[in-house]
C-alpha cells in the first residue's frame, strides 16, 4: 500500500501578482493523438467500433462499467479536441485571407510606407 502523500497549497506571488500556484491535482494534458490511441485500444479490446458501441445498447451493456466510463470520457475528449483543432484551423485560414487582402490593398501599402 502506498504511503500517504502530503500536499500543501501555497499561492506564489511576484510582488502583488499571483503566479503559477501549486495544486493538489496531478494534471495530465492529453492530445488528440493520445485520445484517439486510447479509443483505438478499447475498440480493439472489445472488437467493436466506437460508433457501434454508441449505437447498440446490447454492445454497450456488455462492457464493464469502468471501461465504459473511460471509453465515453475519451470519446467526449476527442470531440472537444477536434472542435479546438477545427477552430484553430479556421482562425489560421481567416488570418491568411486577411493578410492576402491586405497585400492587395493600395491603402495598406501607403500605410506601410508612412
Partner 1 sequence: MNYFEFKRDFDKKRGKLKLPTDCHEQMPPSVEVASQYGWTFEWILTFDDHKYLRIREHHGKIAGLLDAVRKSFAFHYGPITGKDFDGNLLWAPTDPVEIRIDTSPHPAHMHFGAPEPHIQQESVLNLKLETISMFIFLKAILKHRQSGVPINEALRFQIKVTP
**Which residue of 14, 27, 33, 103 would you call a contact of partner 1, by CB under 8 A?**
27
Please tell me whether residue 29 binds partner 1 under the rule CB under 8 A: yes
Please tell me whether residue 13 binds partner 1 under the rule CB under 8 A: no
**CA 43 to centroid of chain Cα atoms:** 20
Q: Does residue 36 contact residue 71 with C-beta atoms inside 8 Å? A: no
Number of residues interacting with partner 1: please give it, by CB under 8 A: 34
Q: Does residue 78 contact residue 37 with C-beta atoms inside 8 Å? A: no
The Cα-based distances of 7 to 13, 54, 97 in angstroms read 19, 40, 50
Q: Which of residues 75-104 bind partner 1 (CB under 8 A)?
A: 76-77, 79-81, 83-84
Report which of 40, 44, 49, 35 is spatially closest to residue 79, judged by C-alpha positions: 35
Q: How far apart are CB 98 and partner 1 at their closest, in Å?
A: 24
**CA 48 to centroid of chain Cα atoms:** 24
Q: How far apart are CB 105 and partner 1 at their closest, in Å?
A: 33
**Which residue of 16, 17, 24, 110 would you call a contact of partner 1, by CB under 8 A?**
24
Question: Which residues lie near partner 1 (CB under 8 A)?
Answer: 1-5, 7, 9, 21, 23-30, 35, 60-61, 64-66, 68-70, 72-73, 76-77, 79-81, 83-84
Amino acid at each position: 500500500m502506498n504511503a500517504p502523500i502530503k500536499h500543501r497549497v501555497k499561492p506564489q506571488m511576484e510582488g502583488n501578482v499571483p503566479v503559477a500556484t501549486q495544486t493538489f491535482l496531478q494534471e495530465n494534458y492529453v492530445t488528440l493523438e493520445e485520445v484517439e490511441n486510447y479509443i483505438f485500444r478499447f475498440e480493439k479490446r472489445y472488437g467493436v467500433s466506437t460508433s457501434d458501441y454508441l449505437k447498440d445498447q446490447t454492445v454497450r451493456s456488455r462492457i464493464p462499467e469502468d471501461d465504459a466510463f473511460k471509453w465515453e470520457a475519451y470519446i467526449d475528449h476527442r470531440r472537444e479536441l477536434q472542435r479546438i483543432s477545427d477552430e484553430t484551423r479556421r482562425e489560421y485560414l481567416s488570418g491568411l485571407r486577411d493578410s492576402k487582402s491586405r497585400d492587395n490593398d493600395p491603402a495598406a501599402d501607403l500605410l506601410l510606407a508612412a
